[in-house]
C-alpha cells in the first residue's frame, strides 16, 4: 500500500519506518527540511533504538517531502501523526490537527480515487467526528465514508522500545464507522498477526485515553503506597512483587519512585480531566493521580535534606530524559527536581547519555557533564532516570537519593535513600 505519514516525531517516524518494513511505500510529510533530509539518508531524527536500521533497510520504499498535497495525491492512505499538546489550562490544543485536516481536505478535491485518512494522534473522543470530518468534508467537497475513508487508530508505543512495541503489540485498536474502512485497516495490520479490536471511532479514541489514564493511575497508586512503605521501613518493590502475582492485578507499572513524565501521560490525563469538567463532571481519581505525580519529585529533595543542608552544595543529577532509551525530556521529572535544587541554593551538575541537548533550553545555566563519572564528584547525587549504564558506576562513598532504584547504588553508596523503599 502507498501511505503518507504527516508528522515525523516519535509516532510518525516509528510508524512510517515500521510500515515500510511491512512492505508499504511510505512518504513522510514534515515541515523541517533538515529533519526530512536526515530521514531520507537513513538517520533518525529522534533517539529510538532500532529506528535507523529500519530506515536504512527500507530506504528504497521511503520518500520525504514538505508538500503535503503531493504526498496525499501519490498515496492511498494518510496517517495523521502530528502533536496534540496541552494548553496552559490543561485542555487539548488541536491546532495542528485542525491545520492538517484543512490541508488534507484541500488535497482531496482533485483526487479521483478514494483516499483514507487515519487518525493516529491522541485526540479526545468526538474529535475525529466533530472536528476532523467536518473540515475534510468542507475543504474537499466530498462526504465521509462515500467520498473518503476515515478511521481512528490510536498508538500505544512506548518510547525506548517503540519498534518492538509496533511489531509485537498487545492489540491493534481500529475505530471505524464503515465496513470498507475496517477491511482496509485490517489489511494494513494483517502482517503483524496481532489481536485486532474493532469499534466505532469515538470509542477507539476513548480506549487510548482510558489506557493512559489507567497506567498513570497505577503509577500514582504505587507512589502513594511507596511513600507509606518508606515511612514504615517496608520495601514497596517487594510489596508490589507480591501484589502483582495476583492475575487480576498484574505486576506491570508498579515501579514506585518519582512519578511519570513524558509526552503522553501528563497531557492526556489533564486533557481527560478538562474534558470531564466541560461535561460537568469532576474526576476525583484523575485529579489525585496528577496531584500525587506532581508532589513526588519533591520527595527526593526532602530525603536529601535529612542528610545535609543543600544550600551552597553541589548536587549531581543523573538522568534528564523522562525515561531511559529516549532523548525525550517532555515533562521529565528532572525539570521540577532541578528547579527545586536551584531555588534552595544548590549548584547543579547534570548528565544524560542522550537527552542533554533537548534538556539544555530548560536550564541553560547549569553545568552539563560530559560523563556520568563527572557527576559523581559532587556532595550528593540524585538518580532521576534509570539508564542501564548507571548500573556500572562506582557509587562507593557517595551520598545517593535514588528515584529509580539502581541496584548498584543501593548496594554501594555510603548514604542511600530510595524514594519509596
Q: Which residues bind ligand NAD (CB under 6 A)?
A: 6-12, 29-31, 68, 81-84, 96, 99-100, 121-122, 155, 157, 159, 263-264
Strand partners for 46: none
Task: Give the residue with the Cβ less far from ligand NAD, 28 or 351.
Answer: 28
> Minimum distance from CB of 29 to ligand NAD (Å)?
5
Using alpha carbons, select from 200, 206, 197, 199 the residue that is nearest to residue 172: 197
Task: Give the residue with the Cβ less far from ligand NAD, 122 or 217.
Answer: 122
d(CA 22, CA 174): 18
Task: Give the residue with the Cβ less far from ligand NAD, 157 or 273.
Answer: 157
Task: Give the residue with the Cβ less far from ligand NAD, 99 or 374.
Answer: 99
> Minimum distance from CB of 200 to ligand NAD (Å)?
20
In what order do the strands lie in the sheet containing 25-29?
Answer: 62-65, 25-29, 2-6, 77-80, 115-119, 148-152, 172-176, 196-199
> Minimum distance from CB of 402 to ligand NAD (Å)?
25
CA torsion 157-160-162-164 (nearest 10°) is -120
Using alpha carbons, select from 205, 4, 181 the residue that is nearest to residue 94: 205
DSSP 1-24: -EEEEE--SHHHHHHHHHHHHTT-
Task: Give the residue with the Cβ less far from ligand NAD, 116 or 263.
Answer: 263
Phi-psi region of 90 (alpha: psi -120 to 50; beta: other; left: phi over 0): left
Which 3 state secondary structure label does DSSP give 174?
strand
> Annotated active-site positions, please?
264
> Minimum distance from CB of 307 to ligand NAD (Å)?
36
> Minimum distance from CB of 92 to ligand NAD (Å)?
9
> Minimum distance from CB of 7 to ligand NAD (Å)?
3
Phi-psi region of 370 (alpha: psi -120 to 50; beta: other; left: phi over 0): alpha
Helix ranges (H only) for 190-306 are: 201-231, 236-244, 265-278, 284-305
Using alpha carbons, select from 185, 197, 205 the residue that is nearest to residue 127: 205
Task: Give the residue with the Cβ less far from ligand NAD, 70 or 178.
Answer: 70
Q: Between the CA of residue 65 and those of 29, 37, 152, what are the distances in Å?
A: 5, 9, 24
Amino acid at each position: 500500500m502507498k501511505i503518507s505519514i504527516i508528522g515525523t516525531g516519535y509516532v510518525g517516524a516509528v510508524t512510517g519506518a515500521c510500515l515500510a518494513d511491512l512492505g508499504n511505500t511510505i512518504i513522510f510529510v514534515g515541515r523541517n527540511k533538515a529533519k526530512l533530509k536526515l530521514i531520507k539518508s537513513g538517520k533518525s531524527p529522534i533517539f529510538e533504538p532500532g529506528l535507523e536500521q529500519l530506515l536504512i533497510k527500507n530506504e528504497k520504499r521511503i520518500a520525504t517531502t514538505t508538500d503535503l498535497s503531493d504526498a496525499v495525491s501519490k498515496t492511498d492512505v494518510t496517517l495523521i501523526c502530528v502533536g496534540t499538546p496541552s494548553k496552559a489550562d490543561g485542555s487539548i490544543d488541536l491546532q495542528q490537527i485542525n491545520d492538517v485536516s484543512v490541508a488534507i481536505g484541500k488535497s482531496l478535491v482533485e483526487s479521483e480515487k478514494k483516499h483514507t485518512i487515519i487518525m493516529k494522534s491522541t485526540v479526545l473522543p468526538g474529535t475525529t467526528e466533530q472536528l476532523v470530518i467536518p473540515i475534510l468534508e468542507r475543504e474537499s467537497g466530498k462526504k465521509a465514508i462515500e467520498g473518503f475513508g476515515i478511521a481512528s487508530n490510536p498508538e500505544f508505543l512506548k518510547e525506548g522500545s517503540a519498534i518492538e512495541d509496533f511489531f509485537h503489540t498487545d492489540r491493534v485498536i481500529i475505530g471505524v464507522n464503515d465496513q470498507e474502512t475496517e477491511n482496509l485497516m485490517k489489511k494494513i495490520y494483517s502482517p503483524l498477526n496481532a489481536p485486532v479490536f474493532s469499534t466505532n471511532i469515538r470509542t477507539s479514541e476513548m480506549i487510548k485515553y482510558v489506557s493512559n489514564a489507567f497506567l498513570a493511575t497505577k503509577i500514582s497508586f504505587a507512589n502513594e503506597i511507596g511513600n507509606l512503605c518508606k515511612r514504615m521501613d517496608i520495601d514497596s518493590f517487594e510489596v508490589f512483587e507480591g501484589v502483582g502475582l495476583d492475575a487480576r492485578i498484574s505486576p506491570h507499572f508498579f515501579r514506585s519512585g518519582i512519578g511519570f513524565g513524558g509526552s503522553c501521560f501528563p497531557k492526556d490525563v489533564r486533557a481527560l480531566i478538562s474534558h470531564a469538567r466541560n461535561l460537568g463532571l469532576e474526576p476525583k481519581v484523575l485529579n489525585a493521580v496528577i496531584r500525587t505525580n506532581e508532589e513526588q519529585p519533591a520527595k527526593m529533595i526532602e530525603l536529601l535534606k535529612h542528610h545535609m543542608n543543600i544550600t551552597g552544595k553541589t548536587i549531581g543529577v543523573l538522568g534528564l530524559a523522562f525515561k531511559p532509551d529516549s532523548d525525550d525530556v517532555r515533562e521529565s521529572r528532572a525539570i521540577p527536581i532541578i528547579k527545586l535544587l536551584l531555588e534552595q541554593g544548590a549548584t547543579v551538575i547534570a548528565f544524560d547519555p542522550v537527552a542533554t541537548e533537548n534538556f539544555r533550553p530548560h536550564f541553560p545555566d547549569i553545568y552539563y557533564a560530559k560523563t556520568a563519572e563527572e557527576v559523581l564528584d559532587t556532595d550528593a547525587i540524585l538518580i532521576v532516570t534509570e539508564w542501564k549504564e548507571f548500573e556500572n558506576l562506582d557509587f562507593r562513598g557517595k551520598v545517593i537519593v535514588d528515584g529509580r532504584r539502581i541496584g548498584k547504588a543501593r548496594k554501594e553508596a555510603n548514604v542511600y535513600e530510595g524514594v519509596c523503599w
